[in-house]
Structure 1
């Protein structure tokens, strides 16, 4: 990984199409796919419909972002598009709530990793605060990797990227064998009534697994030929990941008995143990833990870099813009890790699954404010207006599906950014 500078502080290295696609898919494939089958199992075939609706909605939003990237190449990021359309203050609040969504996402991924560890070490879930304490330790270990510098964090991310695909491929192969040999007992279509409310609930849960499709747009300045490659990386990466998730999660939810899938702390391992053997399931669990840790590392890097970038652009106090000799934003990294630790502590009394689902919905609803703002910005800037209208409706529908608790809390967290905005105005 090059640390040379081109005078802008961004370095001379740029991402090509394949690297940009890897960024999109790597940020999307993390913890969500490994725990979601348990959350989706009680919804039956509503979950399959939810995956289809979510993938379609995300592709619409992805198309809007690519349209904005072509129309406003100087904006630099999704929050930049909002600033162009509605002013810097609106851009701050959108950037702020997106940063909050990353904090909650990092906490959620840590919880997911601990959930998979608990299937190997049951003592983690037996202690009253076991899952929360283990998640906090994992948060700070990942922060230490990032504190060693960008080369350390980037090397760790590359090392874990390929591993996370292995459990997905294993599930696909097992499901294909079961279906081909006629051994599969698929959940009946009428096992759970298909209703709009249930589809909405499943679509909100599945959206968590597809968060991060905007990654290429966020680093537009680092992508070679961005007006072409960002569109391809975003749309192709999102489509491929959505299809992969649909197949894998549906296979587990439809082929495992509902009671088993819903109660499992590690549904991937449970699926492999039932239809293959326990040794393979133990390996899948290890792969899943590594996948979660890899995603945790990537999002930890992103939360620190986003904080530093906001400070450079005058959207956070300049104190956060400070870096060490290797360019690592140590202050932003330590503060962000401390905040994610608080998110875990505040929900430490919930069950592991309950903690995961609450943080999932909070992170999803927080991110949806960015998606909604970008869709509205595209409409105002007259960029792909039909898709902007559809994206606006989808974002509003998803916010409603997240529930008044999560969506209301995310709005409150957005409003809590007001003192920080006033602080930054005093510095300018």
Structure 2
């Protein structure tokens, strides 16, 4: 495994050792606004549109959960921002973990992160399908309509990504620009319609306050998954040392405000029983406040936002295994690209796995929230593991690089890294034993692949353990 002492040699050496896979591309196509749109698009859309319905039974505890998780998300954003300045290399969490802990840990994170992405795609696609069905009620009575719509949305976005990173970035920027206005309206103007009595009692669940708050953790953190998005395609980012940290922090802060005030408006307008059964909670809130026309606009914005999230995650779903494959950690076909520089086989395999998961778990409109909650728990649990490792990597780099390079301030590092680590662990705890079991099994399932990759390498005899 890699040693922290090796990382302490210099900033430049840290970058090269961390990811040899991320050689300089011929042209960097992603700037600050596109990277910020990638963060906002992946975050505001990876769980935002159905989560008010899933949080409905928790009442005001859900809002407290949003506030708490926002602090954790900002702390994680600061962790990723600092790591990206030290090692602005393609692969994001994989690259950072490999830098701090070596090849085997890097493999586990690349494997787990890849799983978390393709496992989360069906939840986003279900949100798209739910809002489309709210616009076309006749679809709700059609057997299998939800599954077919969700599958079609995933493959449509995959086709866009196969055209290249630049095209995917443009699509992402357009989706974020279109969707942000109507949801800002709900999160701001919508507060004037809130019935504050709907938040009494604070904890309507019958559970202890801590148990109820912990139960909201995987749901609220699922919405924040993607704050590291700008770090993953670092090889395609212009001036990555400045662009990635700024985009990460700005995107996370914008998302946190939208989540808290948007959920507050929806829960304060729509009755709890109606909200819990809704497949389009924001559309229901807009219709209640401003009439049917507003509900249609919100539903369209939610659909476009879901497509934007699918697009952004599909981009990351290709980049992480590609970086790992070029380092010899994952099979070579993950790194094989088409004429547009896109890892075609990696995208096709990933979307196929997402499709299989959706088909296996789908059970019609009545079961949409049940399927959604299950997928949320698994994907959140799987992605928290890379987050925990990245917090630990920052600790290693602080111990080895701080004095020589002056990269950290003790007064800011200690609380931020600790908060980010604790929130990640809390989210894993809140996901429950079932999600933890599935997450562990999926992670361990990659071990035979790692052994095979090590044995098949020409330098396996001298490779790091």
Which residues in structure 2 correspond to 1:195-206 (within 5 Å)?
195-206=209-220
State how far apart, in whole Å, the 2-side matches of 1:19 and 1:178 are: 34
Q: SS of 1:381's equivalent?
A: helix
Work out whether 1:236 is the aligned partner of 2:250: yes
Alignment equivalent of 1:64, drawn from 79, 103, 120: 79
Match of 1:190 in 2: 201
CA contact (8 A) 1:174 1:275 kept: no
- 1:344 Cα deviation from its structure 2 partner: 0.4
Match of 2:27 in 1: 12
- 1:162 Cα deviation from its structure 2 partner: 1.2
Superposition TM-score, scaled by structure 2 size: 0.84
Work out whether 1:104 is the aligned partner of 2:119: yes
Work out whether 1:288 is the aligned partner of 2:311: no
Match of 1:4 in 2: none
Alignment equivalent of 2:103, drawn from 77, 82, 88: 88
Deviations 1:360-417 (A, max 9, x none): 1111111100001111222233363443233222211110101111122111111111
- 1:191 Cα deviation from its structure 2 partner: 5.4
- 1:48 Cα deviation from its structure 2 partner: 0.7
- 1:8 Cα deviation from its structure 2 partner: 4.1
Alignment equivalent of 1:120, drawn from 135, 142, 145: 135
- 1:54 Cα deviation from its structure 2 partner: 0.6
Mark the CA change 1:238 to 1:306 in structure 2 (over 3 Å): closer, same or farther: same
Deviates more, 1:415-424 or 1:12-21: 12-21
Work out whether 1:400 is the aligned partner of 2:426: no
Match of 2:419 in 1: 390
Alignment equivalent of 2:69, drawn from 21, 43, 54: 54
Match of 1:28 in 2: 43
Mark the CA change 1:401 to 1:313 in structure 2 (over 3 Å): closer, same or farther: same
Match of 1:313 in 2: 327
Q: SS of 1:22's equivalent?
A: helix
Alignment equivalent of 1:219, drawn from 229, 233, 241: 233
Work out whether 1:354 is the aligned partner of 2:357: no
State how far apart, in whole Å, the 2-side matches of 1:139 and 1:90 are: 30
Match of 2:180 in 1: 165
Unaligned runs of 5+ in 1: 1-6
CA contact (8 A) 2:126 2:146 kept: yes
Mark the CA change 1:149 to 1:80 in structure 2 (over 3 Å): closer, same or farther: closer
Unaligned runs of 5+ in 2: 1-21, 400-412, 458-465
Mark the CA change 1:146 to 1:69 in structure 2 (over 3 Å): closer, same or farther: closer
CA contact (8 A) 2:378 2:435 kept: yes
Q: SS of 1:33's equivalent?
A: coil
Alignment equivalent of 1:133, drawn from 145, 148, 152: 148
Q: SS of 1:296's equivalent?
A: helix
Q: SS of 1:325's equivalent?
A: coil
- 1:135 Cα deviation from its structure 2 partner: 1.4
Deviations 1:215-258 (A, max 9, x none): 12223344444334333322222122101211111111123211
Alignment equivalent of 2:390, drawn from 357, 368, 374: 374
Mark the CA change 1:411 to 1:330 in structure 2 (over 3 Å): closer, same or farther: same
State how far apart, in whole Å, the 1-side matches of 2:320 and 2:381 are: 19
RMSD: 2.3
Q: SS of 2:200's equivalent?
A: coil
Match of 1:341 in 2: 355
- 1:126 Cα deviation from its structure 2 partner: 3.0
Deviations 1:150-203 (A, max 9, x none): 454334333322122133023135424436xxxx45414315347111111112
Deviates more, 1:9-18 or 1:116-125: 9-18
Match of 1:249 in 2: 263
Superposition TM-score, scaled by structure 1 size: 0.90
CA contact (8 A) 1:29 1:164 kept: no
Deviations 1:101-121 (A, max 9, x none): 110121211111111112123
Deviates more, 1:113-122 or 1:221-230: 221-230
Work out whether 1:178 is the aligned partner of 2:193: yes
State how far apart, in whole Å, the 1-side matches of 2:202 and 2:420 are: 32
Match of 1:143 in 2: 158
State how far apart, in whole Å, the 2-side matches of 1:90 and 1:404 are: 23
Deviates more, 1:168-177 or 1:195-204: 168-177
